[in-house]
Structure 1
Amino acid sequence: MNRHILDFLQTTRELLESDQVRMMGRWKHHGPISTLDHSLFVAYLSYRAAKVLGLDARAAARGGLLHDLYLYDSKDKSAHPGWQCFDHPRAAARNAGELTWLSDKERNIILSHMWPLGGALPRSREAWLVDLVDTLCAGLEMSRVYHPARLRERLGVRPLLPACA
């Protein structure tokens, strides 16, 4: 394993070992991509970009990993009230706050990752970065240019239940 992956795993170990994060493998997010695979993709790319830009890589990785920790099937309208794009950042921030201590920066990363749809304004360069990386990753996933399950397998992260095919 290269040093970037080892550093990322060290930064996110506590979260990657949690049942809540691994449960994201249960639900599809963008097409056939699981929420876990998408969140790992966003977290890892945000972490790497933050390192290159001299930003807070820890906050970018943790915020990126937890940004979609809403823990329900987004396609099931009975599982959540209202519009998914508006509501899920608050559900993810609530769940992340119950899972681990969050810095103000990490909380804002989660709440603002859908800006301007999600309502919260990104208040740090790391929040803007994760918002941009999330959009980029979603585009790559939806266009089938990249399947982030490859990254999950390379990182050695196992979903709590089998990941979506």
Structure 2
Amino acid sequence: MVNKSSKKYAEYVLLVQDLLDAPAVRRLDWCRHHYGVSRMRHSINVSYYSFIICKKLHMDYRAVARAGLLHDLFHYECSKKKFGILRHAAIHPKLALRNAERLTKLSELEKDIIVKHMWLCGKAIPRYPESYVVSLVDKYSAVYEILYSIWKKLCSKHTIQTQGY
């Protein structure tokens, strides 16, 4: 989804490189998220596209890039927890914020972005416009990742079925 060869991506990486190098963030690459997409890939998608939007709108794109990368900083597998999806939607932003605070110093804006990125599913209403951007990009990315995974499965299933003809 992200074009890693673009000039904008290089600028983005400069803002988040210290976080990308952190072991807690790197471990996200091993966490499944949205049907076959790693939590790391999802977090980079959300972070990068929020960065692009906020830069264009002259908003705090640095805070958005960093908080967007950390918005899902938790390491349990959602499908293996006994609580349901609604409980997960309420719990994981607080857990991500706690983990992010252990990793780096956060501004009030970054905290708001992380803890309120699930505002459509919860009661916490974002305080800043940047928080809305990350939350909406998060929803868009999740839908895209799910549909893309389903599309890949359908295509591979179709290829397997037609090989014998």
> TM-score per shorter chain, which class?
0.7 to 0.9
Distance 1:78 1:27 in 2: 17
Give the structure with the higher percent helix: 2
Distance 1:126 1:20 in 2: 24
2:107 counterpart (96, 103, 106): 103
State how 1:146-157 maps to structure 2 within 5 Å. Answer: none
Long gaps (5+) in structure 1:
148-165
Long gaps (5+) in structure 2:
152-165
Distance 1:29 1:138 in 2: 9
Give the CA RMSD over aligned residues: 2.1
Indicate the structure whose relative CO is greater, using CA pairs within 8 Å and at least 6 residues apart: 1
Distance 2:122 2:33 in 1: 17
Cα shift at 1:88: 0.3
Would you say the 8 A contact 2:36–2:149 is kept in 1?
no
Between structure 1 and structure 2, the one with the greater Rg is 2
Aligned equivalent of 1:127: 131
1:39 counterpart (37, 40, 43): 43
Distance 1:144 1:56 in 2: 30
Identity %: 37
The residue type paired with residue 124 of structure 2 is A
Matched, 1:27 2:28: no
Compared with structure 1, are the counterparts of its residues 38 and 146 closer, same or farther at alpha carbon in structure 2 (3 Å cutoff)? farther
Cα shift at 1:79: 9.3
Aligned residues: 146
SS at match of 1:139: helix
SS at match of 1:143: helix
Compared with structure 1, are the counterparts of its residues 77 and 13 closer, same or farther at alpha carbon in structure 2 (3 Å cutoff)? same
TM-score (norm 1): 0.83
